[in-house]
Amino acid sequence: MFGPSVRKGRLDTALLKEMILDPPGCFVYLCGPAISRWDRLAARETGTTPQPKFIETALAGLRQIGVPDAQIKRESYG
């Protein structure tokens, strides 16, 4: 039986470390909002950097805990 797995809040490296027991041996599938072409264009026009969304945050955390890029599949929208 699984324990409570519903969490509230933003995804972070600590949660990824807790949930992914074998980072080099796992495959991760991400689906969620990402920085869009339009976000980049708007940021360029205002001289700012677009804020990371789910995909960028998750990718950074997965790389930090040692999940190989080749084992991360993603689908984004936004």
User: Does 4 have pLDDT greater than 70?
Assistant: no
Does residue 41 form part of some domain?
A: yes
Q: How many domains is the chain partitioned into structurally?
A: 1
Does residue 24 form part of some domain?
A: no
Does residue 77 form part of some domain?
A: yes
75, with CB counted inside 10 A (0-12, 13-18, 19+), is: exposed
Say which residue, 4 or 19, is predicted with more confidence.
Answer: 19
Does residue 21 form part of some domain?
A: no
pLDDT digits (tens, 9 = 90+) for 33-71: 999 999 999 999 999 999 999 999 999 999 999 999 999
Does residue 4 form part of some domain?
A: no
Does residue 6 form part of some domain?
A: no
Domain holding 40, by residue range, is: 35-78
Entry pTM: 0.81
Does residue 66 form part of some domain?
A: yes
Does residue 48 form part of some domain?
A: yes
